[in-house]
Structure 1
C-alpha cells in the first residue's frame, strides 16, 4: 500500500511541474498582434494578410520571406521579387489563394544572353490549368522563318527571333530549333496563346495580361485555428518557417487561449485546472491498475462477465442471420477472405467502420472487402449493412456479394468499383487525378439522386442512409455512381414520415440540423436530402465545404461563398474556363443543392422532386432563399454514431 501511495505522489509531482512550466514562445505583449492585424494595401491590391508581408507588415506576419510585397510610390503599384526576377502584382484573390503576376524585368526583343526563364518556387507556387508556357527562340540559324511570329532584335536588326507553343510535333517538324542559341519560357493564359500571331506586339500583349499562380501558406489548417481564436497568423522571428499565432498578449504555437480582458486570469485558471486534472488522472490510473490486478488474481465473476460481453455481438448477428435465412448472400470463412485479399495486401481506403481491401474471387472477379472494426457495440453496423443492402436491387446501390463472421472478425464482400470513391475527384487528391467533365458531374449527381429516391420510396421498407458524403459514393469504370456504407442506416415503415432516433448519426459537415438538435424538426428522409445537397455543392465548387477545426456547426455546414457566386452569376471554378452550357449545368446543380440544404426539413424537396429539378431547364427553377445560419452551439465528432 505504501508503494502505491509513493507512485501516486511521484506522478502528481510530475504533472505539477509539467503543467506549471512556462510557455516557450510567449513574446512581448501586443506588439506583433497589433502589427500583424494591419492589412497590406497598395492601389488595387488591398486588405492582404497572411501569408504575405511588406509595407507596414513585418516579416513575422508571413509564412516565408519569399512572400514579400513592395509598394512602389507614387503610382501605388505592388511589386514582387524572387531572386533577380521582378514581377508586378495585378491582383491577389485570398479566397482562392491566387496571384496574377506580370514579369517586368524582361524585354523580349532585347536579344540578350541575360534573358532567363520565369522561375517560381515549386514549394510555394503552382500554375493553374488556365496557364501554360510559350517558348521564345533566339539566335536561330539564318534564313529560318516562323511566319508572323518572327520579330527582329532591337539591339541588332540583323538578328531574328520568334516564339511558338513548343510541342513534340513542333520539334519533329523543325529540327533546326535545336541549333538556336537561347530559348526562354513565357507563362501566359491559354486563351491568348491561341491568337498570338503578329510579331513582337502580340507577344508583348499576351505577356502584359499576366498569368495566375496558386500560392500556398503550407499552414492553412493551423492558420484557421489561430484566426478562430482571434489571433493573427505569422511565424516565429527566430525561424521563418515555424508557424506562430500572434495574440493580444504574446505569440503561441497554434492558438490564443483567450482574447478578453480577463485573459491572464483565464490562463492561470487553466493551469490550475490542468494540475487538478493531472493529479486526478494519476489517481484514477493507479486505481484502475489495482482493480485489474485484483480481477486477474481472483478471477472474479465481473471479469467473467466481461468476456461474455465480447461474444454478445456475435450472438446478436447470428440471431439476425437465422431470422433472415432467406438472404441469398454467400458466407465466407476468414481463411477464404485472407486468400481473396492475399492476406490483406492492397488497401483501398479507410472508413468510419473499418478498412477496405482489394480482393479476387475464385472465378477471377474483383471485389472490395470491408473489414469492420471490433469496437462497435452489439454488431449494429454489420446488421445495418446486411439488412439494408440485402433489401435493395438498383444500379446506383452497391451490391453486397457476401460476408464473413468468425470470432471477432467481421467482413463484408462488395462488388469492386475501379474508379474508387467520389471524394478523390472532387478534392483532386492526389493532384494529378483527372478533372471530371461537367457532363459526368451531372450524370453522377443524377445517379446518386435516383439511388436515394429508390431507398426512400422504391423498397417495401424505407431505408434512411444517414451518411451520404463523397467518400461513400463509389464509381465504376464508366463513372456510374453507387451508394455504399450503410453502417449508420435505419429501416422504417414507408407510412412513417418521422423516425425515433436517440443518437447522432453522420459525418461532420453533412449532418442535417434536425439530427443534431430535435428543436428544428423530427428526423426523416429529408435528413438524407440535406446531406445530398451539401455533397452537390462540393461537386460544383470542387472543394471541401467543411472546416474540420470549427467550433460551431454553423461554421461547418453552410458554404456561404457558393450562394454569393450564384447571385453574381460568376464561374464556379477559378482554375477552369467554362462554356455557357457548362456554367448553366453548374448553376442548376447549385440551385438544387441550395434547396436541399434549407434549414427546416419542410423547405427541402423530396428526392423525387430533386430528380425533376435536375431534369428541368434553368428557367423552371426558382432561386432558393439563403439558408439560416443557426444550429446547435456544439461540436460534432468527425464520424458520429
Structure 2
C-alpha cells in the first residue's frame, strides 16, 4: 500500500512538472534534444515522433538515432548528423556519418531543398576513376581512392592529359555547384544555411516563431507569439494542482477500496479453508477449478441458474454423471458455500441430494452433486391438467411422501436439526424413477434439538413459501414449523398447479388458489382438476387437506413432519382443518384439530439472514396485507 502511494505521489508531481514545462513552451511545442549534448530542436525544426506536425516548418524534419544522434535528411536520401543549429544566423552545422563527404555528394540534390551550402564560391567538378596515376596529385580524393584505383576531381572543361601517363581513366559522374574545398582534405564538417522561414525579428521582440494558422496562408507565412503570456503559467499551474490533487485522491480511494476488498476476500478464503480443514474427515472429494472445467467440458451444458450460482452438467466417468453448481463470486461471503457443504456433506438420505465433491480454488467455488435426470418438480406441477407433464396422482402422492420423509430426516434424523428455509418445487429434484430429493441448502441453518427460543431479525426464503411468523412475531416464534408451512404450499401447488379456474373477472384479483381449494373442499365440490377415477380424487383431496393443515397461521397449529407422514400414508379420511383465511381465536381453531395430529412442541432458532435476493420484501405489518403478499403468485 505504501509503495503504491509513493508511486502515485511521484506521478502527481511529474504531472505538475509537465504542466509547468508546457507553460514555458508555445502551443505544446517544447524545446527538445535527442541526447544530453545534442542541439536544441525548436521551430522551424521539429523532431519526428516527438513533436506534433504544427511545431515545425515543412522540410525541417529531424530524427534521432539509437545513439541519440540528431539526423537531417537532405534530398535525395542524404543523411547527415546535426552538430549545431544557429537559429540567429540560420545555419546548421552537419557532419558526414562515414567521414567521407564526397561520397554523399553523388546523391545530393539541393535544388528542391530549403538548405544550401553556406559558401558563396561554388564550382562544378567531374570525377574520374583512373587505374594508374600519381597518388600525390592535389586533385586526388583520398576517401574515394584505394590501392587499385585513384579518384580525381577535375574542374569541368579542364584537360586531364597531364594527369594520365600510362593508364586509362573513366569519368564517373559530375558534381555541379559545390564548394571547391569539399572534395579535398579530411574535413567532414559542412555548414548549410536556410533563408525561409526568417524568425529573426521574432527573436528581437523576445517572442517565439510559428507558422500562421490560417486557411489562406502560404508556407512562408509565420507569426510571432509570446513565450510566456502573462498569467498563463499561473493558470496552468493552478489547473495542474487541482487536477493532480483530484487524480491523487481518486487513486488513493481506489487503492483503499481494492485493498479493503482484497482483505475481506482473503478473510473469507481463510474462513472457508479452516472449515474445509475441519471437514476433510467427512470424505467428499475436493476438486481444483481445472478439474471442474474438465468435468463439465469447459462449462458447455447449462442446466439452470439461481440466485447464488449456475448449474452445469458434467461427467466423472462414462457411467457417472454429475451436476456442478458454480457459485457466483459476487454473492454472499462464503456462507452459501459453507452451508451447502456443512449440511448435505455430512448426511445421507434417499430423499436428500448427495454431495459428491466441492471446489474451493482461490476465489472460485463450486459444488458437485449427483445428477438427477428428471430435473425439478416444478416443471411437472406447473399445470396439473396438462396431460403431457402430469405424473398421475399415485406418483404425486409418493413424491409428496418422499419430500416429507426428507424434511423429517432433516428435522429429527440427524445429530443436529437442519432447517432448510427454502422448501419449494424448484428445490425438489427427481431421479430416473421420480424419487424426490431435497436440494439447495444455501439458506439452511443447523441448531441443536433442545435449543431455547430466540428472536429472528429478518425473514428469509422465497416469497409465497415463507411462513407468517418469519414476517411477524404476532404469529409465534420461528421454528422447524416454517419448513412445514413451505411444504404445505408445495402440496397445494401439486394439487392445483398454481392455476385458479372458474373465477369471475370481478373477484380474480382477490381469490388465490390455496383459498380457492379450501372453499371447494369446504363446499364439498369437485376440485376441478385432472382426475380420472374416484381413487385419484381421494388422493388429490388428501394432498389438499394435508397442505391446508400445514399452512395454518400459527406454528403451533401445524403438524410436525412425522404427523404429516402419517396423514399422507394413512388410509383413513382426514378432517378438514380450520379455515386459514379467516381470523379466529387460536383456542377455537385448535379445538377442531384431531388430537392424534397435534404438534407436541415448538422449538425456535436464532436467525439474522434475509430473503433470497431476487425475492426481497419488507416485513408485513398489517394482518390482511400479509395474506395477499403470501398468496399472490405471479
TM-score when normalising by structure 1: 0.50
1:627 aligns with 2:580: yes
For residues 506-521 of structure 1, the aligned pairs below 5 Å read: 506-521=461-476
Aligned-pair CA distance for 1:352: 2.4
CA distance in 1, matches of 2:325, 2:386: 26
- What CA RMSD, in Å, does the superposition of the two structures yield over aligned residues? 2.9
2:551–2:558 CA contact under 8 A, matched in 1: yes
Question: Which residue, out of 342, 350, 363, partners 1:395?
Answer: 350
Aligned-pair CA distance for 1:436: 0.9
SS of the equivalent of 1:519 reads helix
1:447 aligns with 2:417: no
CA distance in 2, matches of 1:538, 1:294: 57
Q: Which residue of 2 aligns with 1:168?
A: none
- Provide, for residues 68-90 of structure 1, a one-character-per-residue CA deviation record: whole Å limited to 9, x for no partner: xxxxxxxxxxxxxxxxxxxxxxx
Question: Which residue, out of 560, 570, 574, partners 1:606?
Answer: 560
1:492–1:499 CA contact under 8 A, matched in 2: no
For residues 319-358 of structure 1, the aligned pairs below 5 Å read: 319-358=274-313
Pair 375,556 (structure 1): closer, same or farther in 2 beyond 3 Å: farther
SS of the equivalent of 1:403 reads strand
1:589 aligns with 2:543: yes
- Provide, for residues 468-522 of structure 1, a one-character-per-residue CA deviation record: whole Å limited to 9, x for no partner: 0000000001000000000000000011264553332110100000112223211
CA distance in 1, matches of 2:248, 2:440: 41
Q: Which has the larger radius of gyration?
A: 2
CA distance in 1, matches of 2:479, 2:524: 33
1:462–1:493 CA contact under 8 A, matched in 2: yes
CA distance in 2, matches of 1:499, 1:555: 35
Q: Which residue of 2 aligns with 1:457?
A: 412
Pair 436,429 (structure 1): closer, same or farther in 2 beyond 3 Å: closer
1:488 aligns with 2:420: no
Q: Which residue of 2 aligns with 1:25?
A: none
- Provide, for residues 420-465 of structure 1, a one-character-per-residue CA deviation record: whole Å limited to 9, x for no partner: 0000000159978421100100000000000000000000010000
CA distance in 1, matches of 2:260, 2:319: 45
1:563 aligns with 2:518: yes
CA distance in 1, matches of 2:485, 2:404: 12
SS of the equivalent of 1:602 reads helix
CA distance in 2, matches of 1:500, 1:423: 32
Q: Identify the range of structure 1 (378-387 vs 298-307) with the bigger mean alpha-carbon deviation.
A: 298-307
Pair 584,428 (structure 1): closer, same or farther in 2 beyond 3 Å: closer
Pair 446,327 (structure 1): closer, same or farther in 2 beyond 3 Å: same
SS of the equivalent of 2:564 reads helix
2:476–2:554 CA contact under 8 A, matched in 1: yes
CA distance in 1, matches of 2:482, 2:464: 13
Q: Which residue of 1 aligns with 2:332?
A: 377
Pair 622,430 (structure 1): closer, same or farther in 2 beyond 3 Å: closer
For residues 261-300 of structure 1, the aligned pairs below 5 Å read: 294-296=249-251, 300=255
1:391–1:459 CA contact under 8 A, matched in 2: no
CA distance in 2, matches of 1:557, 1:605: 23
Q: Which residue of 1 aligns with 2:136?
A: none
TM-score when normalising by structure 2: 0.50
1:310 aligns with 2:265: yes
CA distance in 1, matches of 2:449, 2:291: 38
Aligned-pair CA distance for 1:325: 2.7
Aligned-pair CA distance for 1:301: 3.9
Pair 422,497 (structure 1): closer, same or farther in 2 beyond 3 Å: farther
CA distance in 2, matches of 1:354, 1:559: 31
Q: After TM superposition, where is structure 1 displaced by more than 6 Å over at least 4 residues in a row?
A: 290-293, 429-432, 554-558, 634-638
Q: Which residue of 1 aligns with 2:377?
A: 422
- Provide, for residues 386-413 of structure 1, a one-character-per-residue CA deviation record: whole Å limited to 9, x for no partner: 1110221110000000001122221100
Question: Which residue, out of 361, 366, 377, partners 1:411?
Answer: 366
For residues 155-194 of structure 1, the aligned pairs below 5 Å read: none
CA distance in 2, matches of 1:379, 1:528: 24
CA distance in 2, matches of 1:442, 1:333: 41
Q: Which residue of 2 aligns with 1:617?
A: 571
CA distance in 2, matches of 1:378, 1:637: 29
- Provide, for residues 553-584 of structure 1, a one-character-per-residue CA deviation record: whole Å limited to 9, x for no partner: x979872101012123333344x243111000
Aligned-pair CA distance for 1:291: 8.8
Q: Which residue of 2 aligns with 1:15?
A: none
For residues 40-55 of structure 1, the aligned pairs below 5 Å read: none
Pair 556,572 (structure 1): closer, same or farther in 2 beyond 3 Å: closer
CA distance in 1, matches of 2:572, 2:291: 52
1:449–1:607 CA contact under 8 A, matched in 2: yes
CA distance in 1, matches of 2:479, 2:315: 38
Aligned-pair CA distance for 1:538: 0.2
Q: Which residue of 2 aligns with 1:434?
A: 389
CA distance in 2, matches of 1:292, 1:519: 54
2:285–2:357 CA contact under 8 A, matched in 1: yes
Number of residues paired by the alignment?
Answer: 339
For structure 1, the 5+ residue unaligned runs are 1-289, 546-553
Pair 400,555 (structure 1): closer, same or farther in 2 beyond 3 Å: farther
For residues 512-591 of structure 1, the aligned pairs below 5 Å read: 512-543=467-498, 559-574=514-529, 576-591=530-545
1:499–1:524 CA contact under 8 A, matched in 2: no
2:549–2:577 CA contact under 8 A, matched in 1: yes
Q: Which residue of 2 aligns with 1:68?
A: none
CA distance in 1, matches of 2:511, 2:466: 10
Pair 351,480 (structure 1): closer, same or farther in 2 beyond 3 Å: same
CA distance in 2, matches of 1:566, 1:495: 38
